[in-house]
Amino acid sequence: MDSLKAKNIIITGASSGIGEALAIQAAKTGANIVLASRNISKLDELKKSLNNYDTTIITLSCDVTIASDCQNLIDTAIRELGSIDVLINNAGISMRASFEDINMDVLKEVMNVNFWGSVYCSKAAIPYLLKTKGSLVAVSSVTGFKGLPGRSGYAASKFAVNGFFESIRMEYMSRGLHTLISCPGFTASNIRVNALNAAGEQQAETPADESKMDTAESVALDILQAIRDRKDFMLTNKQGRIIFWMNKFFPKFVDKKIYQVIAAEPNSPIKK
């Protein structure tokens, strides 16, 4: 990770989960980091816990669904650090409800955070990333190439993220911009606890056994290594790789197996 030392890295959604783990691991490498989230108090606590590292840490309240907040995030990074080497679009929310029951505002909120938040931040950052031949990163999901029942809005947002960043990669491929689409598998974090239900409220509990999932720390290390190696695509989780390849050759079989798993969840949103 020595190549990330003294690099200027922006991380959205940095107050918990993969974003928090990315902040910790980036600080350990000696990178300068700008941490963005709607929860500024958690960011400040995180910054305090990282004070022992020889790095500059900036915290900023940012709602990625607001374009002006995203522009202010990038402007602040340039003003305080002088340049941007990496933007990690990590901010995201999930949902868990049947399509027939869900309030349409929930789908819009998920799309606004997961897709438009990445678009707004990337639009503001790309001119500066071109100057440093830096890295533009999307923290997507296995659900970005295989939809899940009961997660229609989340899958739609991640499919959109993947398509957008693939297009960006090709559009700027001759201009030195590195674009990484990282698709972690199921990760132990609070994204399922904070997932929105049909009414737009946090479900407050996870339906999955998180002890069998990847840790946020291991995923963060995978992402930083993929940035270091300037990879285009990251899919390191064994379960994710199985779904990715099986879906190419046996999509109906994968559909059936996923349906069975989701239908067996506690309080499953799947109606039989």
Instruction: List the catalytic residues.
Output: 154
- What's the DSSP call for residue 36? E
Instruction: For residue 155, give Cα distances in angstroms to 62, 67, 83, 145, 221.
Output: 24, 23, 33, 8, 24
Bridge partners of 12? Answer: 36
Distances (CA, A) of 265 to 17, 19, 43, 152, 197: 22, 26, 33, 16, 15
- The owner of tokens 């990074």 is 77
Q: Are 270 and 98 in contact (CB under 8 A)?
A: yes
Cβ 180 vs Cβ 90: under 8 Å? no
264 by Cβ neighbours in 10 Å (0-12 / 13-18 / 19+) ranks as exposed
